Amino acid sequence: MVFDQERDDLAMHRVMDFRRRSVSDEQMRRFEGYMAEIFETFGLDLRTQATEQTPKRFIQALFDATEGYDGDPKLLTTFDNEYRDEPHSRLSQVIEGPIPFIALCEHHALPFHGRAYVGYVADEQIIGISKLTRLVRLFAKRFTMQERLVQQIADAFDAMLQPYGIAVYLEAEHLCKEMRGVRETSSLTRTSVWRGEYESNSSLRVEFLLAIGADL
């Protein structure tokens, strides 16, 4: 296979949806003011030593928790070094995980957190767990939903490696459910995506699910 670097760089940028945020100091101070008003109105006393910086810390924490929008330069600079010519089999899968992640649900801006598992039937390339962790966090550290997260990980992984098959499985607890409303403490939401060989070969799917310890 001839590797077209330019085409694949474009594909990577498209699936990764980088926006490169820029927030000025003046905006940050204004946002801290909004949060101070909300916290105080909702009952938090901001006149103590422990809490006077809470609006500032909250805004900074929210910015850091959504750094996935800024991309991951290390992921982009290393993904193209994995290419090699190796004999391959369409029955051999590589399974990585659990990869822990924390995301913010876009409906409530509250965290959901859990574990990701990625399986693939390699073509010419393989990838290390550290890069998979970067890939999962790139999309998890945003305002998102679990159903989108699982698809984005599969899309980006496909653009990076073009394997014969991809399986992505996420299980997560959603704090927006546990902190309010239905209060389903410790219920897990599971999402999966099957691409390529996994779509047509049920034994690959079963092997993957058994390997990650999922309930069948």
Which tokens hold the place of 157? 């992984």
Q: How many residues bind Zn ion (CB under 5 A)?
A: 4
Q: Indicate the DSSP class of residue 195.
A: E
Smallest separation, CB 105 to Zn ion (Å): 3
Instruction: Name the segment binding Zn ion (CB under 5 A); options: 23-31, 94-102, 173-181, 199-207.
Output: 173-181
Smallest separation, CB 189 to Zn ion (Å): 10
Question: Which pairs with CB-CB distance under 8 Å and at least 24 residues apart come from 35-41?
Answer: 35/59
Nearest 10 degrees: CA dihedral of 181, 172, 136, 92? -150
Specify the DSSP element, H or E, that contains 76: helix 73-78
Asked if residue 132 lies in contact with residue 167, where contact means CB atoms within 8 angstroms, the answer is no
Our finding on whether 103 is near Zn ion (CB under 5 A) is: no
Smallest separation, CB 131 to Zn ion (Å): 29
Site string for Zn ion, 59-98 (x = CB under 5 A): ----------------------------------------
The only residue of 107, 130, 188, 200 in contact with Zn ion, by rule CB under 5 A: 107
Our finding on whether 176 is near Zn ion (CB under 5 A) is: yes
The only residue of 103, 105, 140, 212 in contact with Zn ion, by rule CB under 5 A: 105
Asked if residue 52 lies in contact with residue 46, where contact means CB atoms within 8 angstroms, the answer is yes
Phi, psi of 211 (to 5 degrees): -65, -35
Residue nearest to Zn ion (CB): 176
- Residue numbers at the binding site for Zn ion (CB under 5 A): 105, 107-108, 176
